[in-house]
Amino acid sequence: AAADRITLDKMVESLREGVYEKILVVAGAGISCSAGIPDFRTPGSGLYDNLHEYDLPYPEAIFDIDFYRKNPMPFVTLSKEIWPGVKYRPTITHCFLSLLGKRGILQRIYTQNIDGLEAIAGVNPELLVECHGNFRSSGCIDCGSSYNADDCKSSMVMQGEAPICTSCGGLVKPTIVFFGEVMPNRFSQLVHVDVASCDLVIVLGTSLLVDPVASIPNWVKSDVHRCLINRDVVGSFILNKPTDVFLEGDCDEIVRKLCQLVGWEDELDQIYSH
Ligand code: OAD
């Protein structure tokens, strides 16, 4: 019935009254665009539209493990651009996620991003699953031996070459998850319990095109409210189920508006100005 439909107003009221206690967040590249990091698939600005110089068979090859084994140079060259440094700072949206954590109502953030900005925004590592890995460690793509991350960085970024594993002679790369690689253990360990027990899902800044993360919003119980904050409607949100709210537009603007409505704006700004 229409009366049972979740709306922005009802969600705001529930947030204000503390009805949601276990919020599961699924995030993607869109939450970091305002930090200056392009996403992957937005036509024109997205990374996959800007890889002509690499002469790839298809854009995603730059993050494909079989391609890397044959030709690591495109990724090595790109790594200079995408290796997280000190130059990017968390966005309002990252600070909103940190706010949920501080209020004790965040169950987990499943992020597909490899920029590390959730942690920099102050999200407790316990509450974070970096589904596509990170640059803080590196390892051999064949035998899995770990390799010093600073050495990997200087080899790729300064010398412009992929490091070679000292144990087996295989190629080394940062432990970001390429297409064709398995997800981190932490993902498989936590996701089943989290989807079974969360009471609200918030999806932000992702095209929901890459599995398994794209399926997380579909694994929750059918009566769980789901909120999509994105420039376009994606995944199963296209079905516009009674449990779904779609807040269309820029995630920083929407998140700020949401905090205004709930009464959390000062807290948000405090975290942001930190
Ligand atoms: P995509 O680039 O596929 O999708 C980004 C989504 O965010 C799109 O729907 C945009 O419209 C939206 N968006 C962009 N800027 C926004 C903004 N300021 N406010 C709101 N929405 C905005 O990025 P992901 O879904 O994160 O994986 O991509 C998933 C995975 O594909 C990545 O983790 C990466 C990539 O290949 C690997 O490399 C393994």
Going by CA atoms, what residue is nearest to atom 13 of ligand 1? Answer: 30
Does 131 carry a binding-site annotation? no
Does 69 carry a binding-site annotation? no
Active site residue 192: no
* ipTM, 2 dp: 0.99
Average pLDDT over residues 172-181: 97
| Cα–Cα distance, 159 to 134 (Å, whole number) | 21
**For residue 138, which phi and psi values (nearest 5 degrees)?**
-140, 165
Q: Given ligand 1 and candidates 34, 39, 237, which is best to mutate, with the most ligand atoms within 8 Å of its CB?
A: 39
Number of H helices, E strands in the chain: 10, 9
Higher pLDDT, 221 or 85: 221
pLDDT digits (tens, 9 = 90+) for 78-120: 999 899 886 899 999 999 999 999 999 999 999 999 999 999 9
